[in-house]
Amino acid sequence: MPIVRRSEAETHEIHGARFVSYAAPRTGSRELCAWRGEIPAGTKAPAHTVDREEILHLLTGELLITLDGRTERVTAGDTVIVNPGATLAVENPTDRTATSWVTTSVGLTAELADGTVLTPPWAN
């Protein structure tokens, strides 16, 4: 039975945020990936277009989520559903770190506005 202990989770940092990976093919998952996102105060991540559905559940704090040009404030307990092909930007305008739990299917890629394609290791 694959169990990923907190001490075994891999941590990645990009664009000022931290991604703590729990479920991915390297840990035994075949179809889904899941990670904890930590978005520090004042962080504004670049907009990116995802090629797979992504579900973001905010555990603590609040964020400004821009999805296909529409911005909404989300708070702890809210869930954001990002459909394939949607463009997402995440901003933490507060003075506290926000944490989220994110799931997607294995193989997610994200394209930045400049055409750069990211293959995040926490989602592959």
Average pLDDT over residues 63-71: 97
Residue 110: pLDDT over 90: yes
Q: What pLDDT is recorded for position 1?
A: 66
* CATH tag for 17-123 (out of 2.60.120.10, 2.30.30.60, 3.40.50.300, 3.40.50.1370): 2.60.120.10
3-state secondary structure of 33: strand
Distance CA(117)–CA(101), nearest Å, equals 23
Q: What is the mean pLDDT of residues 101-113?
A: 97
Residue 87 is predicted with a pLDDT of 98
Whether 2 has a pLDDT exceeding 90, the answer reads no
Q: Which two tokens stand for residue 87?
A: 């463009």
Residue 98, pLDDT score? 98
| Residue 29 contacts residue 110 (beta carbons within 8 Å) | no
CB-based burial label for 87 (10 Å; 0-12, 13-18, 19+): middle
Query: Domains of the chain: which residue ranges?
Result: 17-123
pLDDT digits (tens, 9 = 90+) for 9-63: 999 999 999 999 999 999 999 999 999 999 999 999 999 999 999 999 999 999 9
* Cα–Cα dist 31/105, whole Å: 6
Q: What is the mean pLDDT of the chain?
A: 96
Quickly count: other Cβ atoms within 10 Å of residue 83's Cβ.
Answer: 12
Q: Distance between CA 30 and CA 91 in Å, rounded?
A: 31
